[in-house]
A and B are shown apart, each in its own frame.
Chain A
Amino acid sequence: MAIWLIPFLPLLSATLLMVSTGRMPRSLTAVLGAGSVGLAALLVALLAQGFLADGQVREVTLWTWMAVDNFTPRVAFYVDGLTIVMMSVITGVGFLIHLYSIEFMWDDESLCRYFAYMNLFVAAMLLLVMADNLLLLYLGWEGVGVCSYLLVGFWYRDADNGKAARKAFVVTRVGDTAMALGLFLLFTELGTLDIQPLMVAANANWQVGDTLPIVATALLLGGAVGKSAQLPLHTWLPDAMAGPTPVSALIHAATMVTAGVYLIARNYQLFLLAPPTMQAVAWIGVATLLLAAFTALAQHDIKRILAYSTISQIGYMFLALGVGAFASGIFHLMTHAFFKALLFLAAGAVIHCLHHEHNIFRMGGLRTRLPVVFWSFLIGSAALAALPFTSGFYSKDAILLSAWEQPDIGPWLWAGGLLGALLTSIYSFRLVFIVFFGEAQTEPDRQPGWRMAGPLLLLCLLSLIGGWFALPLSGVFPENGHAQVNHSVEIISIATPLLGLLLAYLLFLGRQLSIDKLLASPTGQALKSFCLSGWRIDNLYNALWVRPYTNLAHWWRNEPIDQLYNAVVAASQWSHRTLLGLQTGELRWYATSMVFGLVLLLAIMLRNAT
């Protein structure tokens, strides 16, 4: 089967849509936009079926991208179990989101532009996961970044959207630049960027704990934290919610933001050579998941809650990678794609039916008014909170267990993850209770149609049963069999989300507990606004980077270098004026100066002669 068709179909569709510049009928635009991704999903399904049958890694080379000396990156694909999982998520969840988008975006005048960008995104994301070398991966990596920029700023008339889009691009570009330096280092030292030969060469040339692999993986990690919105480069993601909600579901929840996780998993042999980097990955994961979970508790914009929750959940994936549980990380990536896409699409349905309302405190009582959305949200939240037997339960549980088994730092990582799980459960159900229970604040003016409800129901199903999927990852990652299951640890892991659910119920629905008094106090106020602002990290970065840079630009605006040349000009003009003063036109003055000159010359000659 022609594997290249899979990314090519959305790419072709994107090109057609762009060339049509909106002159295509809307229905055709929708069919092309969603259909191309649907077809790609079918091809992926066929590919996956073939792969599950024979387990053969598929490699396809299309052409040599460029060849200079031994730098010969190819446009080539490498499809193993990991790639299959990623491709299935991208095209499967991607297709559902595209289908949903048809209804969600139908009234928008720029439907064509929307689908063009979305399809381009899917193509770039597929290239990212299918690339057999790091340069082609980087192409996909930057490509999804640009599509994210275009889609966050999709509603370009509002300057705030443009600002959020630029922030998303520039902050991730900081990470991307580190990643590019990592590629230079790897190529200079090992002479190739093809991933599989690179892993072989790294293992052959480097020992565990050498400086070079540590530096190289740290640079790659820079790219990963940027793209996956982890500390310290996470600040772009909450603002990126300015884009249309299906965009948030596809790019900022299910696929692009997990690219960093994929990058580390794909190059895991390299990371295993650098234990300090691995530890850094784990700690970044824990720190991020806690920070984001705390922040999510205080938000009142439905999409920002979900955005912080995404950051937090990717923190779990990083934790998994950092403790070497690569398969668990990818497993959580997949289940998270299901339930977070579900939550975003459900949130989108709420927003769509509620006149673009984002504030959860102006919602309420939607349980009976939007039943499909309510059940979707409930199931999504249950999976997010990792309630028993949902998909999130299996994946998160595996991560916590692996963290526990880590020597030395294991219990600390585990405790951090567990606290995060408690917080996750609280903020998830806070959202559910406030939005769907209680008294109605705003009446919905429409009900979601089948194009919106269908994807919701399918994602509900996936969020419920996704935990039972067996991923074909055994050939990709080393087996790390759990030594023995520690039952008390297991029970605590199960009980924590339930405790969170109970707390959320008591706080936000039953109101047996109240934190109103605490919040009303000055300390509470300060704490709340601290959390609401995302721990003031944006202010910090503004003071550290943005303002100094704009000030520098302002200061240099008039070209300090040019002042130097202007000084030369001024000097020659001055001498021109001065010498001009000598030219008086008076004969006596000329004669006098000639005599004086002559005398001076004679004096010098005589002095030299003696």
Chain B
Amino acid sequence: MSMLVLIGLLLVGGVMAWLAERIAVNLSRWVSLATVTVSLLYLLGIISGLPEGSLQLTPDPGDGSSWLLYLHIDWIERFGIALEMAMDGLSLLLVVLTLLLGLVAIASSWSEIEFKQGLFQANLLWTLAGVCGVFLAMDLFLFFLFWEVMLIPMYLLIAIWGHEKREYAAMKFFIFTQVSGLLMLLAIVMLAWHGQKVNGHLSFSYFDLLGLPLQGRSGWIMMLGFFIAFTVKLPSFPFHTWLPDAHTQAPTAGSVLLAGILLKTGAYGLLRFCIPLFPDLSAQFAPVAMGLGAAGVIYGAVLAFAQTDFKRLVAYSSVSHMGFVLLGLYAWNNLALQGAIMQMVAHGVSTAALFMMAGALQQRLHTRDMRRMGGLWHQAPRMGACAMFFAVASLGLPGLGNFVAEFLVLAGLFAVQPWLTAIAALGLITAAVYSLWMIQQTFQGKPDEQRSMSDFGSREMFAMTAMMIALVALGVYPQPVLDLAQPVLDGLHGLVQDSMLVAQVRP
């Protein structure tokens, strides 16, 4: 039940935040803050109440008790659809990240939103609810439902509170996600129908659909349906073009949520559904997927360097970083998978911080054009130091979380595809080029002495410091995250152990 309570909290909190605006204009953001904090505390309370050693259990698909939390309530029995949700270490990690970045999103838009604050906060909380649902749903129909639930409020966030080209960007975001979501829906229905032929009963449960013998054209169609839906979200080259527009036009909180969390639902979907449901096809498809990953790493980095808009630059850097996730997932060995999961967390934090920086700059300078910045260090040294920190984090400085992630991915990938690793490693150079160029254009160079600009205040410094500490912690002692993910990966390895995926890795 607790998982439903968690999602319910966020949904109801959203409604309350909306209504709170009628009492006092600024009350809604406090309600929103309280809702996310309570949800987080509630979740942590439940986790700490679990019996000792649960976090080390390998989740077994057939056994609900081996999961941290498991829920099964019959819903639409005629079609075998149930409210089936489960939480393992991976879901826990991502839900905690979601709620933490939810706090960051609220903090980053604290004084940015000037109209319809209540509705804004409501949409923010509903997005969080949808994302949490995506990370917890184990019934594919329910999963699809949450997939849509997170999309619509995000669309509204961009379309209503976005910047100058918000309608175009919101529409593009919506169509890309919707079309690919439709492909996934078709794949889900086909898969359930296949399951009925094999198992004898109709079910949308992930656990019932695992291990189906899926080959031939219909297998490929289903696999690609999932793959495209998830790689549009990730986003992977060549489905990424919605992202720069959506990120750039979204309000700061929207960008933080998009980059920090929504992209991770794509990676999560690949890891939880696409590969385990279709292990053999995924093995055959892996070279293509890894090729797309490497292409994304390079392409995103080159385009990031070409940008003049601060937010667009960060958006393209996300494309580049998510390429590493795709590489890690399809290399499918423990090292690379751990790296991919680590990248989800570390990139979530570092990019959220960079978008917060972009929002802060725009609020102060009323522009995102870096050609009109320069020498800002002089006026705002604290902002400069934060920007420098997150820039070197995103170029993969050892000692920070992003390095652990990229190193693990590449080290794991090397055992599978040494040449592709060499190509992807070029991303380390190109990342340095765009990150340092970004710093040069904004904070270095000759300051404009006439410009007056306030430095970070204590609220902003608090959020930034928290994220810096998180990245350093992930960088020097990533073990808690790795330990949380390892049982999940063991379980996944168990699911695909008879498939061709295993064979591609050298012993």
Question: For the complex, is B102 an interface residue (Cβ under 8 Å from A)?
Answer: no
Question: For the complex, is B291 an interface residue (Cβ under 8 Å from A)?
Answer: no
Question: For the complex, is A169 an interface residue (Cβ under 8 Å from B)?
Answer: yes
B429 touches A177 (CB 8 A): yes
**Which residues 433-488 of A sit at the B interface, judged by CB distance below 8 A?**
none
Question: For the complex, is A591 an interface residue (Cβ under 8 Å from B)?
Answer: no
Partner of B375, one of A156, A549, A557: A156
Question: For the complex, is A67 an interface residue (Cβ under 8 Å from B)?
Answer: yes
Partner of A65, one of B385, B433, B447, B476: B476
CB distance from B1 to the nearest CB of A (A): 35
In the complex with contacts A157-B378, A553-B302, A553-B305, A170-B444 CB distance below 8 A:
no
Partner of A66, one of B425, B428, B433, B482: B482
**Which residues 388-431 of B sit at the A interface, judged by CB distance below 8 A?**
388, 392, 397-399, 403-404, 407-408, 410-411, 414-415, 418, 421-422, 425-426, 428-429
In the complex with contacts A67-B479, A156-B443, A185-B414, A143-B399 CB distance below 8 A:
yes
A142 touches B437 (CB 8 A): no
Question: For the complex, is A586 an interface residue (Cβ under 8 Å from B)?
Answer: no
Interface size class of chain A, counting residues whose CB lies under 8 Å from the partner chain: 35 or more
CB distance from A118 to the nearest CB of B (A): 16
Alpha-carbon distance between A22 and B238 when the two chains are bound, in angstroms: 47
Residues of A within 8 A of B307 (CB): 557
Alpha-carbon distance between A174 and B478 when the two chains are bound, in angstroms: 27
Alpha-carbon distance between A565 and B426 when the two chains are bound, in angstroms: 28
Partner of A180, one of B378, B397, B410, B436: B410
Alpha-carbon distance between A44 and B389 when the two chains are bound, in angstroms: 30
Question: For the complex, is A166 an interface residue (Cβ under 8 Å from B)?
Answer: yes
Partner of A162, one of B410, B444, B477, B478: B444
Residues of B within 8 A of A562 (CB): 241
A553 touches B338 (CB 8 A): no
Alpha-carbon distance between A157 and B410 when the two chains are bound, in angstroms: 37
B428 touches A176 (CB 8 A): yes
Q: Mark A363-386, 1 if CB is under 8 A from B, else 0.
A: 000000000000000000000000
**Which residues 146-193 of A sit at the B interface, judged by CB distance below 8 A?**
146, 149-150, 153, 156-159, 162-163, 165-166, 169-170, 173-174, 176-177, 180-181, 183-185, 187-188
Q: Mark A385-400, 1 if CB is under 8 A from B, else 0.
A: 0000000000000000
Q: Mark B353-396, 1 if CB is under 8 A from A, else 0.
A: 00000000000000000000001011001100100100010000
A173 touches B306 (CB 8 A): no
Residues of B within 8 A of A143 (CB): 397-399
B414 touches A552 (CB 8 A): no
Alpha-carbon distance between A177 and B433 when the two chains are bound, in angstroms: 13
Question: For the complex, is A580 an interface residue (Cβ under 8 Å from B)?
Answer: no
A156 touches B429 (CB 8 A): no
Alpha-carbon distance between A185 and B414 when the two chains are bound, in angstroms: 7
B436 touches A170 (CB 8 A): yes
Alpha-carbon distance between A162 and B384 when the two chains are bound, in angstroms: 14
Partner of B444, one of A156, A181, A187, A553: A156
Residues of B within 8 A of A592 (CB): none
B334 touches A68 (CB 8 A): yes
Question: For the complex, is B56 an interface residue (Cβ under 8 Å from A)?
Answer: no
Residues of A within 8 A of B476 (CB): 65, 75
Question: For the complex, is B445 an interface residue (Cβ under 8 Å from A)?
Answer: yes
Alpha-carbon distance between A158 and B443 when the two chains are bound, in angstroms: 12
Residues of A within 8 A of B381 (CB): 21-22
Partner of B414, one of A67, A170, A188: A188
Alpha-carbon distance between A114 and B486 when the two chains are bound, in angstroms: 42
**Which residues 102-124 of A sit at the B interface, judged by CB distance below 8 A?**
none
In the complex with contacts A63-B477, A561-B237, A554-B306 CB distance below 8 A:
yes
CB distance from A449 to the nearest CB of B (A): 29
Residues of B within 8 A of A165 (CB): 436
Closest chain A residue, CB of each to CB of B398: A139
Question: For the complex, is B26 an interface residue (Cβ under 8 Å from A)?
Answer: no
Residues of A within 8 A of B403 (CB): 142
A159 touches B428 (CB 8 A): no
Residues of B within 8 A of A63 (CB): 477
Alpha-carbon distance between A95 and B180 when the two chains are bound, in angstroms: 61
**Which residues 127-149 of A sit at the B interface, judged by CB distance below 8 A?**
135, 138-139, 141-143, 146, 149
B445 touches A156 (CB 8 A): yes
A184 touches B482 (CB 8 A): no
Main secondary structure of the interface of A (DSSP, over half): helix
A162 touches B482 (CB 8 A): no
Residues of A within 8 A of B302 (CB): 549, 552-553, 556
Question: For the complex, is A64 an interface residue (Cβ under 8 Å from B)?
Answer: yes
A173 touches B429 (CB 8 A): yes
Question: For the complex, is B165 an interface residue (Cβ under 8 Å from A)?
Answer: no
A18 touches B385 (CB 8 A): yes
In the complex with contacts A184-B421, A561-B241, A71-B436 CB distance below 8 A:
no
Alpha-carbon distance between A139 and B375 when the two chains are bound, in angstroms: 29
CB distance from A36 to the nearest CB of B (A): 19
Residues of B within 8 A of A565 (CB): 241
Question: For the complex, is A516 an interface residue (Cβ under 8 Å from B)?
Answer: no
Question: For the complex, is A69 an interface residue (Cβ under 8 Å from B)?
Answer: yes
Alpha-carbon distance between A169 and B385 when the two chains are bound, in angstroms: 18
B444 touches A557 (CB 8 A): no
Question: For the complex, is B440 an interface residue (Cβ under 8 Å from A)?
Answer: yes
In the complex with contacts A146-B397, A176-B428, A565-B241, A21-B382 CB distance below 8 A:
yes
Closest chain A residue, CB of each to CB of B339: A68
CB distance from B339 to the nearest CB of A (A): 8
Alpha-carbon distance between A557 and B437 when the two chains are bound, in angstroms: 16
In the complex with contacts A65-B477, A146-B397, A173-B241 CB distance below 8 A:
no
Residues of B within 8 A of A177 (CB): 425-426, 428-429
Q: Which of B237, B302, B415, B432 has the most CB of A within 10 A?
A: B432
In the complex with contacts A67-B482, A69-B335, A184-B411, A553-B303 CB distance below 8 A:
yes
Alpha-carbon distance between A21 and B380 when the two chains are bound, in angstroms: 11
Partner of A181, one of B244, B375, B425: B425
Alpha-carbon distance between A184 and B408 when the two chains are bound, in angstroms: 9
Partner of B306, one of A75, A139, A553, A561: A553
Alpha-carbon distance between A561 and B305 when the two chains are bound, in angstroms: 17
Alpha-carbon distance between A417 and B476 when the two chains are bound, in angstroms: 44
A interface residues (Cβ-Cβ under 8 A, vs B): 18, 21-22, 63-69, 71, 75, 135, 138-139, 141-143, 146, 149-150, 153, 156-159, 162-163, 165-166, 169-170, 173-174, 176-177, 180-181, 183-185, 187-188, 549-550, 552-554, 556-557, 559, 561-562, 564-565
Listed A/B pairs (20) with beta-carbon separation below 8 Å: A65-B477, A66-B478, A135-B407, A150-B388, A157-B378, A157-B447, A158-B446, A169-B436, A177-B425, A180-B407, A180-B425, A180-B428, A185-B418, A188-B411, A188-B418, A549-B305, A553-B303, A557-B303, A559-B303, A562-B241
Lowest 10 A-B CB distances belong to which pairs? A139-B398, A553-B306, A184-B414, A156-B444, A562-B241, A557-B306, A162-B444, A166-B436, A173-B432, A162-B440
Contacts A158-B446, A162-B445, A561-B237 known; 10 new A-B pairs at CB < 8 A: A68-B482, A138-B398, A173-B428, A176-B428, A177-B425, A184-B421, A185-B414, A188-B506, A549-B302, A557-B306
